[in-house]
Structure 1
């Protein structure tokens, strides 16, 4: 039976005007909802500011009737809703609160360059739309969580320069949408997971400056990253070769593999990458020649310095129109500089020094480009210096020293107002120096020595010029009386020229002058008598001139004078007795017409000793009380026969004794191996030979001694250049332990390059004796300055009661920290010193600190992995607790020892003598835990209210560095930053009063100390 058909329903249509109120109502509801969300987001921002204790950088985060929070420059909105927070460098010191994810539309969060502590903020897992996260340059620590792949939408993850440690989790490789991944400069263990190289969408990958990574080769699959534009792995312990398949990475724009122990040759395929703009393969072991076929036309930076490259510089470099920086220094490149590269339009920086390049410098260098830096020193280049190096008006650094260049200096150099340093020495330049060069407004240093230049000294100099070296030329005429306007000059070397006339009084008005060398000229007249302004002068050489008259007594008033040479003149009269009170390390008054007795009457007189036995020769009128002075012995007043007999008897006994000593010394000399041919191994350019050293190993030159041997101060040439020589020897056979120490010191120091690490000039090896030759440090050790009881050795030119003020102490602390930071974080593999102490921190004439005595240092196989040593080495009071008990060591033992040094600097106490039979560390901790004011612990010599804040913070930093648990001690890179910002308060402690800085509450639980948050690690430790 068919179903009945129903009739269609009746549809009612309303007129259009009926819907308008409905639409208005719905829109109003939407507007209300959006307004409510915006109010909620504003509330979140204000809560954020409050949870971060209202940093002053966010003072403008306040509600306003006239503008929205979307106008705040840290906030980016889309359709009125917050999508980005850019909270960079705002001095945020507190953790990230969970309610930040109440910003439901947040896609980007940048918190870089702050001081945020704690572990990885897993609260961000709730930010469901987050695609961009930058937590770099903070104080995060602990592991990167293994479930980080929960942040599935991340496209950018930047975690550089933090303290994240443990292993990098393989789960990062499950973030398949990642385009940018930076994991630079942290404290990861082991190595990186190779699964990272399976992230096919990566455009930037940086694992740079992680020297603790285990040695590894580039993984086979890294060239499969077809979208990768930026690839950076310097100082990550890579070894092996660079594969030819690198040419498969067609999108690659920047490749940085520097400071790794790579081997093999640079594959030619790198220079075929069409998009490559920057190539860094510096400080590696690559060898062979640079590929000659170069088609990577976008290259703008090529940095291949400090390698073993040979062959020629490719002609094809002349086709690289974008090339602005070329650094090929410290290789073995030969041939000429291609003519074509001089025409490139983008040149900014050219460094080709320390090769064996031949031929001329292309004349068009600088003509077509804004050249800023041009260095071709230590080559075999000939011809003239290009005329238009400064054509672009931007040249500030010029170094063409130690070549065979010739001709006159270009006049255009006199119009180069940007020039700061001009090193033109040791060539064959002739003619006059362009007049404008002397007065170039930004010129700070001018090196002209070792040429054939002529002309007279200028009436006027650049106000910024601090150093002029113009020796071994043909400059003539008088020293102008306007020399008093050279007010900032520190070093003036015009020796071996044709200068004439008198030394003008105006020259003695230069208060900053430390070195004045005018020897071997034609100067005449009397020596200047009014020299009270030379308070900084350390070296004065006026030899081989025609000076006459007496030696002025005022020379004895020069407080810092260490080297004085007045030889080969026509000086006459007595030697002023006061000269003997100077703390001289070099004195030469020979070949004059001096007369009388070499002064000896004054207390503490320094002249009549074996150090100066040759200082008075060829002065027929001089006599001495001692025969070893190579002078006539002065006649005695009223001698009795008995005295004569006694003198003869003593002389006979001395003769026998000297004969015995001569035989012993001859025998010892033979045993020491000096009769064998010594082998000298240099680590830098030397101005002396091994015989200059061996001939001066005399007892009178000894300045110190230790467990491994004596240390000598030796002057290696007439110019007064001085070195320190550490001698390791034994009468029979060199002890195996000493041999190990010697080998360790040579291996480590020979490869370290840092301004705060002592320079090893060379070592000399004989049969049974080893000699380490260092730069000489005028102010000896920090230990000598801090502890008065150890000031038995006077420092030349410095009063023995001179104190070390706080600015100098802080300067020393910062310098030492930088040196240790370089060793721990910038060396591959890292270096631990094992004997950091105040006596191993040496000070130059400006109180710059240099770490010395690496005989106990060891190279670490892996950063963070303990190394077992066969015995305990180090010094009492500085040894970390774990070192003394387990012999398992890593970099944290150096941090502990450095903390002890910081406590020495602030308290003035010795490391093993705190008080009541406690070492300094125990005493300092007890002082804090007893609630005593830090100001009560401060050394009286520096207890100045104006510095109390800095001193207190450095004292606290010493406490942080000496905690019992190694894992809780800060790494040196953070110690450096804390010292650089030590005038800032340490927010981890609550300051209760001016005299009680409130550190005690923090330290009552020694297992939960935190690192000072007063600074950010913005860059790697400064290297030299």
Structure 2
């Protein structure tokens, strides 16, 4: 018995030993299989920063110790954390062998191609984050196999096709983010069956169709994002009132129509409600007063009517209220002053009447206030800046009366004050013009009186000041010259007396000076020549005496000079005619005498009213002094021998010039072959590396094969562009960057910058497919645009090449979308630095894409060549402030885009000989719009002639004029530009932003009145 028991125990022990051995063997095999899966995964990944260097197949360390790998107690891989490692390439299907994987984080990299289909075999997966990559195609089918998945984040990729229809079958999902992709079609009604969903993001796609009412069944939902680029053309389902746990609802710019359902008042937990940029109609529901937790309410750019409901008084936590650009009526409710946390109040461009609430600002938190373009009356409340947080006060275009509150002179936080076009009186408050942060003051078109306060000397940031059309008097204070930042100074049509202080040109950045329509006396100071950046000078309609200072010839950028209707005497300095930029001038109605200088272009009206003047354009010819005409006398000197000598010298010079041009042309044509000859050793010995940002079917040698002289399709300061056909048949554009050669092996941050550019994804941005480099030469590979550049088509001499109006309009708004993405949706923002028609490319359907984005900055940062600063813009497109700041920012891009719009409308290049010396397209257009016929004359006849809708054209022209304003502060943002252009065809787009509040008034205006509106820009 004892032996039998011992035998049984021994047998059991052997069985347990065998089982443990088998388990250990199985576990070892499993771990080894996971090691192989990770190694296979690494093989398809490009890891430029060597984050995965410790992933070694022959290494002794456990995969659980590898970077980004997490294991459970059984040493099985349960987590893969590869976020933000600058990885690229593709994801191997071997990923499916990590059967115990629970967490997969691949976000913020550059992975391309599709997600592997085997990902749906990872049945233990709970967290999947592939956001901010370049994955494309459709999401894998049978996603519903991931029955444990809780978080699915695919934001900001290239996924396309319909939304996954069976996604709702994953009952465990709590977070679904599919925004920032190219999904199309409608939202499946079955998506209303998610039982546990808390976060749902569909924003930034191309979804259409009605919004399913079934989404109202997602009662656990806390955040819902459906706006931007989607176009549902649908009303907000009333069932959304069932989403009682919702904290954030963002449905901006997604084609909403109809009324705001009163059921939204049931969302008592709501913190943010964004419905702007749609076509919503009807009144604001009184039920919104039930949203007692609301902090941000934006219903702007819709078609809402009626009054502001009194129930909004219950929104005691509200910080932002934006109802601008609607059709709201009634008064500004007094209860707005009682909202204790209100910081931002935007009500401009409505039909509001009555006074501004007397207590507004006493909540101590008011920061931004814009009530402009209404019908408000009464006085400005005295306590707007009670909390010393107020930055903007914009009340222009109303019917306000009374004086400017003295309290604003003590508002230390104030940066912008716009009170123009009202009926304000009284004097400028003491202290106002000495505020430390004040940058802009507009009180034009009022009845303000008294002097300019002397403390203006203490306004260090003031750049724009407009006091025109008031009743200001006294003399101009000498302290005016101590404004270091002033760029525009307008005091026209007042009652100023006394002399022009010589100190006025001590302002180092002064660009525009208008003192016309006053009672100024004395002479024009010779110190005016110190205004080196002055472009506009208007001192007309005064009582100035003395001569025109000859020193004015030293103002290099002067393009507008008006000295008319004064009492000036003496001659017009002949050297003024040599100013390269002077194109508009008026010397009429003075006491000037002597010959008229040989200006390049002028008319007789600029000199009339001066009996002593003489010249070819006037009935009084100048007396013959014996020296002959100034313009012809040099031809009468010398004899025949001098003429023969001149001809011989000219022929020799011409022959030498032909020879030099021939040598230069030869070098330019064959410079790449010459470069390869002299650098053949480095090109052949240094390995080429192709960094892919998209799915590529070609290699570095195949890219190099494109670099043939016969493949060149473009040249520019940034480099040479070649057309290449890959073995797969794909056509690409290859740009060989300029400024390479000796020293180019130093990276200077180029790789990091190019990685950033590779992540940019937008339908109106040319796709950067990859970068090919051997550390001495950099090649950029782009998608090929078969219709070339906008500039080539606009300025083609082929009469058969025409772009009709609708095509030009579409190109304008598509290019604006691309720049808007760079300025507002990239982090950090990207300033293009070289916006021009040649950098707007067109695909086979004339769909516009912005090219060369950000590359100017790359060149500037590399330090390869001293001439790289020239890439910060192209001649004719460069903003005026670049001349004295040598810096460009997003406002510089906007100026350049305004020039492109003018090209689209006129068919002219930015610089044309017909404009005159020193005159660009911006100045030419400004001159043309002074008359109705001029507006018609500037339009390109190839747009379609009489069939072009003039109102639409004028609206786009106004946008172009706003974009090309001389002052950066006057230019709209690119987001504003997009909305203004959208407003041109309201049947296609929603509403408007920013300065587009003036555009809506133009719709329906008679043609004969449109030019009057343009002149006011």
Could you state the TM-score of these two structures normalised by the residue count of structure 2?
A: 0.58
Match of 1:225? 218
What is the alpha-carbon distance in structure 1 between the residues aligned to residue 237 and residue 571 of structure 2?
A: 76
**For 1:528, which of 500, 525, 528 is the aligned residue?**
525
Deviation string 1:736-755 (CA, Å, 9 cap, x unpaired) is xxxxxxxxxxxxxxxxxxxx
Indicate conservation of the 8 Å contact 1:244/1:267, yes or no: yes
Match of 2:451? 455
Match of 2:613? 622
1:117-516 paired onto structure 2 within 5 Å = 117-122=112-117, 124-125=119-120, 127-210=122-205, 212-214=206-208, 216-234=209-227, 235-293=229-287, 294-453=289-448, 454-457=450-453, 458-516=455-513
Deviation string 1:605-656 (CA, Å, 9 cap, x unpaired) is 324x4xx332222222223313xxxx433256599xxxxxxxxxxxxxxxxx
Shift of 1:102: 8.0
1:42-61 paired onto structure 2 within 5 Å = none
Deviation string 1:975-1021 (CA, Å, 9 cap, x unpaired) is x9xx9xxxxxxxxxxxxxxxxxxxxxxxxxxxxxxxxxxxxxxx999
Q: Which runs of 5+ in 2 are unaligned?
A: 7-22, 57-61, 627-713, 719-737, 741-752, 768-784, 796-802, 815-836, 875-892, 897-973, 980-1017
Shift of 1:572: 0.9
Counterpart of 2:408 in 1: which secondary structure? helix
Whether 2:553 is the aligned partner of 1:633: answer no
Deviation string 1:433-460 (CA, Å, 9 cap, x unpaired) is 3343323222222222223333324341
What is the alpha-carbon distance in structure 1 between the residues aligned to residue 413 and residue 42 of structure 2?
A: 46
Question: In the superposition, relative to structure 1, how do residues 833 and 135 fare at CA in structure 2: closer, same or farther (>3 Å)?
Answer: same
Question: In the superposition, relative to structure 1, how do residues 336 and 110 fare at CA in structure 2: closer, same or farther (>3 Å)?
Answer: farther
**For 2:569, which of 572, 581, 596 is the aligned residue?**
572
What is the alpha-carbon distance in structure 1 between the residues aligned to residue 91 and residue 521 of structure 2?
A: 76
Shift of 1:350: 1.0
Root-mean-square deviation over aligned CA pairs: 5.3
Shift of 1:259: 1.7
Question: In the superposition, relative to structure 1, how do residues 302 and 568 fare at CA in structure 2: closer, same or farther (>3 Å)?
Answer: same
Match of 2:582? 584
What is the alpha-carbon distance in structure 2 between the residues aligned to residue 591 and residue 880 of structure 1?
A: 51
Counterpart of 2:610 in 1: which secondary structure? coil
Counterpart of 1:195 in 2: which secondary structure? helix
1:767-786 paired onto structure 2 within 5 Å = none
What is the alpha-carbon distance in structure 2 between the residues aligned to residue 61 and residue 419 of structure 1?
A: 56
Match of 2:59? none
Match of 2:883? none
Indicate conservation of the 8 Å contact 1:363/1:387, yes or no: yes
Shift of 1:342: 1.4
Counterpart of 1:170 in 2: which secondary structure? coil
Question: In the superposition, relative to structure 1, how do residues 75 and 296 fare at CA in structure 2: closer, same or farther (>3 Å)?
Answer: farther
**For 1:945, which of 836, 858, 865 is the aligned residue?**
865
Counterpart of 1:139 in 2: which secondary structure? coil
Counterpart of 2:255 in 1: which secondary structure? coil
Match of 1:765? none
Indicate conservation of the 8 Å contact 1:334/1:358, yes or no: yes
Deviation string 1:301-325 (CA, Å, 9 cap, x unpaired) is 2211111111101111111112111
Deviation string 1:482-506 (CA, Å, 9 cap, x unpaired) is 3333122111112222333322332
Shift of 1:330: 0.6
Shift of 1:175: 2.5
Deviation string 1:138-172 (CA, Å, 9 cap, x unpaired) is 11122212233333322221212211123333132
What is the alpha-carbon distance in structure 2 between the residues aligned to residue 395 and residue 297 of structure 1?
A: 25
Deviation string 1:487-543 (CA, Å, 9 cap, x unpaired) is 221111122223333223322232322111111223222112234443322211111
What is the alpha-carbon distance in structure 2 between the residues aligned to residue 949 and residue 42 of structure 1?
A: 51
**For 1:837, which of 765, 770, 790 is the aligned residue?**
790
Shift of 1:567: 1.4
Question: In the superposition, relative to structure 1, how do residues 192 and 367 fare at CA in structure 2: closer, same or farther (>3 Å)?
Answer: same
Indicate conservation of the 8 Å contact 2:197/2:220, yes or no: yes
Match of 1:996? none
Indicate conservation of the 8 Å contact 2:149/2:170, yes or no: yes
Deviates more, 1:441-450 or 1:528-537: 528-537
Shift of 1:86: 5.8
Alignment length (residue pairs): 686
What is the alpha-carbon distance in structure 2 between the residues aligned to residue 439 and residue 355 of structure 1?
A: 33
Indicate conservation of the 8 Å contact 1:833/1:858, yes or no: no
Question: In the superposition, relative to structure 1, how do residues 273 and 823 fare at CA in structure 2: closer, same or farther (>3 Å)?
Answer: farther
Q: Which runs of 5+ in 1 are unaligned?
A: 1-5, 12-29, 640-782, 788-803, 825-831, 843-851, 864-875, 884-888, 907-933, 955-975, 980-1018
Greater share of helix residues, 1 or 2? 2
**For 2:557, which of 546, 552, 560 is the aligned residue?**
560
Question: In the superposition, relative to structure 1, how do residues 947 and 621 fare at CA in structure 2: closer, same or farther (>3 Å)?
Answer: closer
Indicate conservation of the 8 Å contact 2:251/2:275, yes or no: yes
Indicate conservation of the 8 Å contact 2:739/2:864, yes or no: no
Shift of 1:218: 1.4
Counterpart of 1:173 in 2: which secondary structure? helix
Shift of 1:333: 0.8
What is the alpha-carbon distance in structure 2 between the residues aligned to residue 881 and residue 354 of structure 1?
A: 36
Shift of 1:377: 0.7
What is the alpha-carbon distance in structure 2 between the residues aligned to residue 534 and residue 805 of structure 1?
A: 37
Indicate conservation of the 8 Å contact 2:788/2:842, yes or no: no
Whether 2:592 is the aligned partner of 1:594: answer yes
What is the alpha-carbon distance in structure 2 between the residues aligned to residue 633 and residue 805 of structure 1?
A: 59
Shift of 1:414: 3.1
Indicate conservation of the 8 Å contact 1:253/1:276, yes or no: yes
Question: In the superposition, relative to structure 1, how do residues 834 and 42 fare at CA in structure 2: closer, same or farther (>3 Å)?
Answer: closer
Deviation string 1:819-845 (CA, Å, 9 cap, x unpaired) is 983999xxxxxxx99885227899xxx
